[in-house]
Chains A and B, each alone.
Chain A
Amino acid sequence: MSHADAAVRTSDGARHGLRMFLIWLPLAIVADLLIWFAWYPHMPPGRMTDQAQGQQFDIAVMAVLAAPVLLFVWVYFAYALIVWRHRPGDEGDGPPIHGNTKVQATWITATAVIVLGLFVFGTVQLIVPAGAGAGEGPSPIWKPNTSNLLQVQVIGQEWAFTYRFPQFGGMESTTLMLPLGQQVEFHVTSLDVIHSFWPYQLGVKADANPGVDNVAYAKPQELGSFTVRCSELCGIWHGAMFNYGHVVTPAAFQAWARGIQAREARLGVLAALPRYALTYDPTVIPQLGKDLVKVAGITGANGYYYPSLFQSGDPGDPVSP
């Protein structure tokens, strides 16, 4: 190959590259502007808590980074498919290019830089708003910067969520009220199978594992209602396992919580409930008169929570550890 040939090919290549760049650049700018100024302010689920806000920010930043990459590949493909399509009558092959060290090194460096940047960004975002709303297990390592925490225990069971408030005498409720501006510490656990506590607008998601206390944090910063759904398949009525909650003013929350506590105390509900604990074992049956009686056979119950020995009227031989 002569030098002239090589020069022609290089300038030719530069021309194609420039064209692609000129098509891509305005598209990428428009896409990023649209993402940031049109989509991001209206991105579901809103900014009801600091966690939800942090997650929206993460998604928006990643979308701003991802859109140019996506568009680069699409513009390149579209350009190549149009400009370098096979013309009738041309039975020849393309130029035998086996690789290009400079292009390959650039690509690998660029993707590595983007990925490592995303990792640093994601880690910072994970640490700063206290675990990013994800369940951190029994001993959380990213905690909010305050000791003024409202503890809310979320108990999942087939197929409902109930909420207990240890700072209000361990009272229990099926609706979740939260005070505005108060840092909340969720303790999520389950009585039977794995559920997942997903108050959608709060930006919290924590699996409810039986026998495990899974902690997550959020701080409501807007008044309003939110939906709680189960996001881990938990059996037949998984789809119907949802209820609602509200972020209210601190005064309204105090009135509500104390009201429920007083009513449950009056009706004897608080006395009948198991003592507040981080996890519960529903195989412990206080009615059997012993403190710790385990009904064995939780594993093979054919869809019934308690095994058939109760149905037959024969108490069987519960195993007492």
Chain B
Amino acid sequence: MAIETTPGADRIQPVGGEPGGPAETRAWWRRPAVHTGLLGAVIGYLIGNWLGWLVQSTSGNFAQGLSDTRDWPVVLGYVLGTIGWLAGLGIFNDLGRLMVGKPLPDIEHAPVGGLAKYFRYTLDHKVVGIQYLFGMITYFLTGGLFAMAIRTELLSPTYHVLSPSAYLMVVGEHSTMMMMMMSSVILGPFGQYFAPLMIGSKRMAFPRLEALGFWLTPPAYVILLSGILWNGFPTGWTGYAPLSLQASPGMDSYAVAFGLMGISMILAGFNIIVTYINYRAPGMRWSRLPMFVWSMFTVSFLQVLAVPVLIAGFYILISDRTAQTAFYANQLGGSSYLYENLFWFFGHPEVYILALPGFGVVSEILPVFARKPLFGYKVSAAGMFGVALLSFFVWQHHLFDSGINPDMRPLYMLTTELISIPTGFIYLVALGTLWKARIRFSVPMLFALGMYFNFLIGGISGVFLSDVPADTTEHGSFFVMAHFHYTIMGGLIFAFFAGLYYWLPKMLGYEMNKTLGKIHFWTMFIFFNSTFLPLFALGMMGMPRRVFEYARNLQTLNDWASISSFLLGGSILIFLINFIWSTGFARVKAAANPWNARGLEWQVSSPPPPQNFAHIPVALSGPYEYGVKDAPPVADLNPPVGVVSAAYAGAGTEA
């Protein structure tokens, strides 16, 4: 082999994008960013509102007399306001350039920019990931404040702080905001940020769709919160008709906001599927993909297949509320079962959209801190696929008491119980990985272990709910509430914090404070369990969900849960202090690979360079080969001349 005298001279150069025009160099206030977006939103809202009144007043006696006269203006205002926001952000600019035949700006060699890039429509997946991180934390904290308001009301067995309608408003805002946030809390920040890094790619397949996906979340947040102006919506996050048809325009804000989040989920899902299939580096076989990538891959399929049903359901809901159709009005020929089916056909895969990313994160973290290969790699991936597939066949277990299809109950009982088999794979993998390991109790590892602990309780209580006779007692009670908070908060959010402590050094380049991190973990772990464990008992003792009024003998347990929830809020405050302190003030520079991990994302600097990799890497072995003697490094970051092009050429001829 010849010794190279001028390194890099004859290497494969990064494959650039399309031939591009010059990057924009105008003054900041003339470039599209959040401020022009806001302007567009206001203009769009005003136009939509005006259009709505126009529709209202010209559609004659029919619509005037029958509908809530504000639904048209409100819905059109929200929709056109969102479009105006996107237009103001410059999301349609490239489309316009294409239409008039102008060259597109060169994305790949655009100037890196400072803080301002986080406030505009930036196409770098690393920027989008960090935008998502801050966006989702905002969602989480807002939803958490609503949760504490709920627990404040439940301090007393009758209503005292919030009026009944304010209580329902708070319940609806908390639940919907959390559901919207949870479906993106890992896929957004970590999925977008690490999807290309983990597979050795320089970019996502569709950077514009990716950024659009993020920029739909701020209007969704604002629109959902604007429901407060209409006194909220009385239905909780499920939005059951016909209650939703009676509700004030707050219901429109629910449907539009959740729908926008749904579009964002579909876009993210498509992007990730296409990226993983087409943008893997040479040598990055399916059997070498990290578990986190597998979880994102399966979740993306769920999003792409399930969320359109939700959007269809909301579309029908909005047309019932505005154009006076009667799809969900039983007495006018519609059916409330239609909504229940549409909603839960989305809603149950949604539950696994929340669970699978958590599995992915903890499976990714466990081998690093156990210093062992992942036990049963194929079992783990099969578990994720099994969960994803079965999740489409269980939705009627939400309707066990609804009166629909009683003869189908054994079937849905079976499918629901079957799903615990692939979920069990995730635990098998964890147990096998811990066998004779060298377990390091870092903060991410603590959160991952906490996730396994909590999710086990959540999962096993789910088996009780899948059994129709037991479900008759537990359905619609606090038992269900406790169950899904254990899987979502105890599972997904613990996994989110595991991922945050694990990956934040890579994303922002700063280390999180370890002592505060451990305090955060232990307080959160203890007070989470102390908040939600009593709720199982409350459900068994007959407390229905979403009530402000409960039997007096349940007050002690409720007060216990409420006080614990305030302490849990304090724990989140510790996290917030740590986050702000570590990234804003202390700013301890993180090493490129602080955890001594084998993952490809750790082989580049912290934070990664703008193009991720100087050269397209060639994957040489799997990411979990800890303790394997003579295991090759995970990838060759400076592959010899010709390897990459040969790989691509080979791939081309094989296909």
The answer to whether B324 touches A207 (Cβ under 8 A) is no
Are B467's CB and A62's CB within 8 A?
Answer: yes
Judged by a CB distance under 8 angstroms, whether B463 is at the interface is yes
Flag if A43 contacts B540 (CB, 8 Å): yes
Please, which residues of chain B bring their CB within 8 A of the CB of A237? 164
Interface with A: B215-223, B271-279, B468-476, B641-649, which one?
B468-476
B470 touches A300 (CB 8 A): no
Counting chain B CB atoms within 10 Å of each CB, the highest count among A70, A140, A210, A317 belongs to A210
Task: Select which of A66, A87, A298, A317 is within 8 A of B460 by beta carbon.
Answer: A66
Contact flags A225-242 to B (C-beta < 8 A → 1, else 0) = 001011111111111101
Q: Within the complex, which residue of B336, B440, B449, B550 is in contact with A210, where a contact is CB–CB below 8 Å?
A: B336
Give 12 CB contacts A-B under 8 Å: A80-B435, A86-B441, A94-B436, A100-B375, A122-B417, A137-B404, A192-B246, A193-B240, A207-B403, A214-B403, A242-B549, A298-B329
Residues of chain B within 8 A of A300, CB atoms compared: 66-68, 71, 245, 321, 324
Contact B549 A233 (CB under 8 A): no
Asked if B143 is at the interface (CB within 8 A of a chain A CB), the reply is no
Q: A155 an interface residue at 8 Å Cβ cutoff?
A: no
Cβ distance A302 to chain B, nearest Cβ, rounded Å: 4
B248 and A93 contacting across the interface, CB-CB below 8 Å: no
Cα of A298 to Cα of B324 in the assembled complex, Å: 9
B247 nearest in chain A by CB position: A303
Q: How would residues 220 to 258 of chain B score, 1 for a CB under 8 Å from any chain A CB and 0 otherwise?
A: 000000000000001110101011011110000000000
Q: Are B476 and A193 in contact (CB under 8 A)?
A: no
> Which residue of the partner chain A has the closest CB to B550?
A239
Nearest CB of B to A238, in Å: 6
Name the residue on A nearest B626 (C-beta).
A93
- A257-292 CB mask vs B (1 if < 8 Å, else 0) is 000000000000000000000000111000000000
Complex Cα spacing A151 to B467, Å: 27
Chain A residues with Cβ below 8 Å from B456 are 70, 73-74
- Interface residues in A111-164 by Cβ distance below 8 A to B read 111-112, 115, 118-119, 122-123, 125-126, 129, 131-138, 140-142
A233 touches B321 (CB 8 A): no
Q: Does A107 contact B (CB under 8 A)?
A: yes
Is A99 part of the contact surface with B, judged by Cβ < 8 Å? yes
Q: Kindly state whether residue B138 has any CB partner on chain A within 8 Å.
A: no
- Complex Cα distance, B63 from A309, in Å, reads 12
B301 CB, nearest partner CB in chain A, Å: 23
Tell me if A35 is interfacial: C-beta within 8 Å of chain B: no
Interface residue ranges, B against A (CB under 8 Å): 61, 65-68, 71, 159, 164-165, 167-168, 234-236, 238, 240, 242-243, 245-248, 320-321, 324, 326, 328-332, 336-337, 370-379, 400-407, 409-410, 413-414, 417-418, 420-421, 424-425, 427-428, 431-432, 434-441, 449, 452-453, 456-457, 460, 463-464, 466-473, 475-477, 540-542, 544-551, 625-629
Q: In the bound complex, what is the Cα–Cα distance between A83 and B578 (angstroms)? A: 31
User: Which of A26-34, A173-181, A195-203, A248-256 lies on the face that meets chain B?
Assistant: A195-203
Contact A126 B376 (CB under 8 A): no
CB distance from B312 to the nearest CB of A (A): 18
Known: A76-B431, A192-B242, A297-B67. A59 touches B401 (CB 8 A): no
Nearest chain B residue, comparing its CB with the CB of A283: B331
Given A62-B463, A84-B436, A86-B371, 12 more pairs with CB closer than 8 A: A44-B541, A58-B470, A80-B439, A86-B441, A103-B432, A104-B376, A133-B472, A136-B403, A212-B330, A234-B243, A296-B66, A301-B68
Contacts of A107 in B (CB 8 A): 424-425, 428
Q: Are A211 and B331 in contact (CB under 8 A)?
A: yes
A92 contacts B by Cβ under 8 Å: yes
| Selected contact of B379 from candidates A104, A140, A234, CB within 8 Å | A104
Q: When the two chains form their complex, are residues B469 and A58 in contact, meaning their CB atoms are under 8 A apart?
A: yes
- Chain A residues contacting B168 (CB-CB under 8 Å) are 233, 235-236, 238
- A62-B464, A141-B406 known; A95+B436 contact, CB < 8 A: yes
A289 to chain B, nearest CB (A): 20
| 9 cross-chain pairs, A with B, having the tightest CB-CB distances, nearest first | A93-B627, A297-B66, A214-B403, A239-B547, A231-B476, A94-B372, A137-B403, A132-B469, A211-B330
Q: Is the CB of B437 within 8 A of A229?
A: no
Contact of A118 among B337, B436, B453, B467 (CB under 8 A): B467
Residue A51 is within 8 A (CB to CB) of chain B in the complex: yes
Query: Any chain B CB within 8 A of the CB of A307?
Result: yes
A234 to B168, CA, bound (A): 10
Q: Which residues of B contact A69 (CB under 8 A)?
A: 460
A299 touching B469 in the complex, CB below 8 Å, given contacts A66-B463, A99-B377, A206-B403: no
With contact pairs A80-B437, A115-B420, A232-B240 given, residues A59 and B473 touching in the complex (Cβ less than 8 Å): yes
Q: Is the CB of A238 within 8 A of B437?
A: no
Measured between beta carbons, the chain B residues less than 8 angstroms from A246 are none
Task: Determine the distance from Cα of A308 to Cα of B332 in the docked complex, in whole angstroms.
Answer: 18
* Residue A55 at the chain B interface, CB threshold 8 Å: yes
Task: Tell me which of A81, A302, A308 contacts B65 (CB under 8 A).
Answer: A308
Residues of B within 8 A of A97 (CB): 372-373, 375, 432, 435-436
CA distance A77 to B430 in the complex (A): 9
Cβ–Cβ contact A44 & B379, under 8 A: no
Indicate whether A96 reaches chain B with its CB closer than 8 angstroms: yes
Q: Is the CB of B331 within 8 A of A281?
A: yes
Measured CA separation A316–B65 after assembly (Å): 8
Q: Is the CB of B243 within 8 A of A194?
A: yes
A residues in contact with B247, CB < 8 Å: 303
Q: In whole angstroms, how far apart are the Cα atoms of A103 and B433 in the complex? A: 12
CA distance A316 to B62 in the complex (A): 10
CB distance from B553 to the nearest CB of A (A): 11
How far apart are the CA atoms of A199 and B68 in the complex, in Å? 36
Q: In the assembly, what is the distance between CA of A235 and CA of B236, in Å?
A: 10
Tell me how far the C-beta of B67 lies from the nearest C-beta in chain A, rounded to whole angstroms: 4
B406 engages A298 (CB within 8 Å): no
Alpha-carbon gap, A84 to B432, bound state (A): 12
- The docked-state distance in angstroms from the alpha carbon of A107 to that of B251 is 47
B403 and A212 form a contact (CB under 8 A): yes
A307→B452 CA distance, assembly (Å):
52
A193 touches B242 (CB 8 A): yes
Bound Cα distance A264, B438 (Å): 78
Q: Measured between C-beta atoms, what is the minimum distance from B244 to chain A in Å? A: 9
Pick the residue among A70, A80, A299 that contacts B320 (CB under 8 A).
A299
Q: Are B432 and A100 in contact (CB under 8 A)?
A: yes
